[in-house]
Amino acid sequence: MIHSAPRSEDIFFKAYQNHDSSYEGIFFMAVKTTGIFCRPGCTAKMPKRENVEFFSTPDEALAKGYRPCKRCQPLDSMGTPPAWVSRALQLLKSQPQRISDARLLAHNIDPTRLRRWFKKHFGMTFQAYQRQLKLTRAYDQIKQGHHVIDSAMDSGFNSLSAFNEAFTKTIGIEPSKSKQQTILPVSRLLTPLGPMIAVASDTGLCLLEFTDRKAIHKQLERVQQQHRARLVLGEHELFKTLQQQLDEYFNQHRRTFELPLNLKGTEFQLMAWATLQSIPYGEFRNYQQEAKMMGKPEAIRAVATANAANPLAIIVPCHRVIAKTGKLAGYAGGIWRKRYLLELESRAART
């Protein structure tokens, strides 16, 4: 039996008062007087305590006749870009040349507002973001045998020297030496529990983790060192498949993931991660049980350490391991996410 902390409505209401987004995925609050339901972090006007009720899922609120809030959009995945950002991303896909501020304004997109959004969510401006994507595509072209000058033109550079300088700064090596440098594309994916960051190689998925995980930068550095590669924002066919399968998983239409994995770790870590993947969907084990499954019953602490180093959240289901007492114990993505994942799988397994 899983023991969880009390989840009284008073705690939920206080979380809503504080716009506490750490409760995302745990509850949705509906306002009886307006007929609208919201996320925990919504900034809409605060209702009176007697006028609200709480639900575990959006479906429950919809079934009671409530409408989703237009401000916090509780039906969308956490981190879904607003419409004006989506328009900018669509422009980026359709236009090979650099998108200027004037072009953004022509599409009713405020360049300053867009710059701030990208700085917050990607740690760089929109112009830097599109430059990285274009240079990553140029790297792929050159590695496939295209001429450097052709790739420069395709990337929107009119000056070969400017292209060489930008390429070297981003990729870490001169364009002519592309075959000597490995880069791994990085992408941001959306889930109901918040955005995740993914890293892929030609042989499989290397990393999948929530962007707000503590020490996420150390994980990225570890992947970079293990693969002797440079991480750069980019595109990969695997990202499309991964997003589709994550959507299916959260909609309870998928129980196992069918993805090539590129896991790197010690022999013990790889054994622990393989054992995690053998725990059936909708079930859980404690650390002692996992250690016995590995044939190392005394290595309980080492098992917990290996689980904490798991580079593929959800895919390698370390959330299915709990303490012997029944408590959820530690989870790098946050205990509230661990509870959500276990309850999601438990509900689906019963149907």
Q: Are the beta carbons of 195 and 250 closer than 8 angstroms?
A: no
Q: How many residues does the chain have?
A: 351
- As a whole number of angstroms, the distance between CA 225 and CA 203 comes to 17
Strand order in the sheet with 52-55: 52-55, 28-31, 36-38, 67-68
Cross-strand bridge partners of residue 189:
196
Which listed residue (38, 72, 206, 318) is catalytic?
A: 318
> Which residues, including other chains, have CB under 8 Å from residue 225's CB and lie 6 or more apart?
none
Q: Are the beta carbons of 322 and 307 closer than 8 angstroms?
A: no
Q: Are the beta carbons of 230 and 136 closer than 8 angstroms?
A: no
> Which residues, including other chains, have CB under 8 Å from residue 120's CB and lie 6 or more apart?
none
Closest among 60, 14, 17, 61 to 37, alpha carbons compared: 61
Does 318 participate in catalysis according to the annotation?
yes
Q: Are the beta carbons of 41 and 71 closer than 8 angstroms?
A: no
Closest among 351, 346, 339 to 24, alpha carbons compared: 339
- As a whole number of angstroms, the distance between CA 327 and CA 309 comes to 20
Structure tokens at 133: 């994507």
172-208 in b/e form (b: 16+ CB < 10 A) is ebebeebeeebbbbbbebbbbbbbbbbbbbeeebbbb
Closest among 126, 122, 105, 129 to 114, alpha carbons compared: 126
- As a whole number of angstroms, the distance between CA 166 and CA 131 comes to 8
The set of catalytic residues is 318
